[in-house]
Structure 1
Amino acid sequence: MDVQRPTGLNPEQSLRERGLRATRPRVAVLAALRDLGAHRSAEEVRVRVAERGEPLPRSSVYGVLDALVVAGLVMTADAGPGVVLYELGDRWHHHFVCRVCHGVTDVECVTGAKPCLTPGTDVGTVDEAQVIFRGVCTACASGARA
């Protein structure tokens, strides 16, 4: 189940609404994420931006992605060890990772907001809790994927 995405994602407008300048790299990265869909690596974003005729250095793509995460326009999709995945979105959620096809699927957070869970002991102030569900997705379990 995919969770809510920002509506009508106009990159320039979205950036300005979050108090950011609509620079060419920021607009290009947001547009690439919008076109690619959820759960993409920085390298996939960089390639998409280049395919659209606006090549950016890898370091610039990472810098833009970091700024967009801080601004709340982009979220990191915690799918466990490996490459960091990015997605458009402003609604907190978790992820399911299939052990067979390695697909990543959004899973609604029960409360819909951070931190969703609280620790059983006093560890300090918790502002975020991430859950990664792992198993075999419906398509792989039914044999729909070869």
Structure 2
Amino acid sequence: MYKEEALDMLKKSGYKVTKPREWIVEALEGNTSHPSAMEIFDQLRKNDKSFSFATVYNTLDTLVKAGVVKQVTVDPQCSRYDPDMSSHGHFYCRKCGSVKDVFDVSLDMGSTSLQDEVEGYELNLFGVCRECSTEAN
């Protein structure tokens, strides 16, 4: 379902659907690991897809502009990409580098002194994940 909707959004945004764009959308479908451009590139190369890293990077930029994928900047080393466009935050483990979705965040915008019209938000949490905490003990 994600693939068809994503490619349709790409077309509606004025972009052509090329094979590399299709492959990258397929790689992101159902992917909750928030992969980096290099991880997507490596995954596709393992599946005998041949194109350059620049193609992956530029395609991800196009997908972000078309509203098909979110660029997540929680990892200090690189950008990550999330196909889940719903409002949610992210948790970054500073030990293992994993990125997890955080859905149970509530913001009461009415209780702030903010007078501007809010269109969205990004919430990034940092710390040590449960798995890494358990390993340390």
Q: TM-score, normalized by length of structure 1? A: 0.72
Q: Following superposition, which runs of at least 4 residues in structure 1 exceed 4 angstroms of deviation?
A: 116-122, 124-128
Deviation readout 1:78-121 (Å, 9 max, x if unpaired): 2142211112111122111123322211112425xxxx799857
CA-atom RMSD in angstroms: 2.9
Between 1:45-54 and 1:102-111, the stretch displaced more is: 102-111
Q: Does 1:27 align with 2:19?
A: no
**What stretches of structure 2 of length at least 5 have no aligned partner?**
none
Q: Residues of 2 paired with 1:139 and 1:67: CA distance?
A: 34
Give the alignment of 1:50-129 within 5 angstroms.
50-108=45-103, 109-110=105-106, 127-129=119-121
Question: How many pairs does the alignment contain?
Answer: 132
Return 13-22 or 72-81, whichever deviates more.
13-22
C-alpha spacing 1:107/1:36, structure 2 compared with 1 (3 Å): closer
- How far apart in 2 are the matches of 1:39 and 1:86? 5
Question: Unpaired runs of 5+ in structure 1?
Answer: 1-7
Percentage of matched positions with identical amino acids: 27
Cα distance, 1:16 vs. partner? 1.8
More helix by share: 2
Q: For 1:141, which of 118, 121, 133 is the aligned residue?
A: 133
CA contact under 8 A between 2:93 and 2:129: conserved in structure 1? Answer: yes
